Amino acid sequence: MPSFKCKDIGMECPFEASALTQGGLVKKIEKHAAEAHNMKEIDAATKSKIMAAIK
Ligand SMILES: [Zn+2]
């Protein structure tokens, strides 16, 4: 099951998430980024960090 921790991209944030699919996980991360980090759009550099941090 793919999982992600905000810490893994250098955020001071305890958020972690997992989902059945990578697509579902990315949706959760996008929602979290908008709500917790005020990132309405995830820029390409951050997105590639996120994709690299998904295990
Ligand atoms: Zn976070």
The DSSP string of 4-42 is: EEGGGGT-S---EEE-SSHHHHHHHHHHHHHHHS--SS-
Question: How high is the pLDDT of residue 28?
Answer: 98
> 44: domain range?
3-53
Question: How high is the pLDDT of residue 4?
Answer: 98
Instruction: Please tell me the distance between residue 31's alpha carbon and the centre of ligand 1 in angstroms.
Output: 10
Question: How high is the pLDDT of residue 29?
Answer: 98
Question: How high is the pLDDT of residue 34?
Answer: 97
Q: Which two tokens stand for residue 3?
A: 């999982």
How many domains in the chain?
Answer: 1
Instruction: Please tell me the distance between residue 11's alpha carbon and the centre of ligand 1 in angstroms.
Output: 6
Instruction: Please tell me the distance between residue 26's alpha carbon and the centre of ligand 1 in angstroms.
Output: 13
Residue 21 one-letter amino acid: T
* Stated pTM of the model: 0.92
Question: How high is the pLDDT of residue 46?
Answer: 95
Q: Which residues pair with 5 in a beta bridge?
A: 16
Question: How high is the pLDDT of residue 48?
Answer: 97
pLDDT per 10-residue tile (average), the chain, 55 residues: 97 98 98 96 95 97
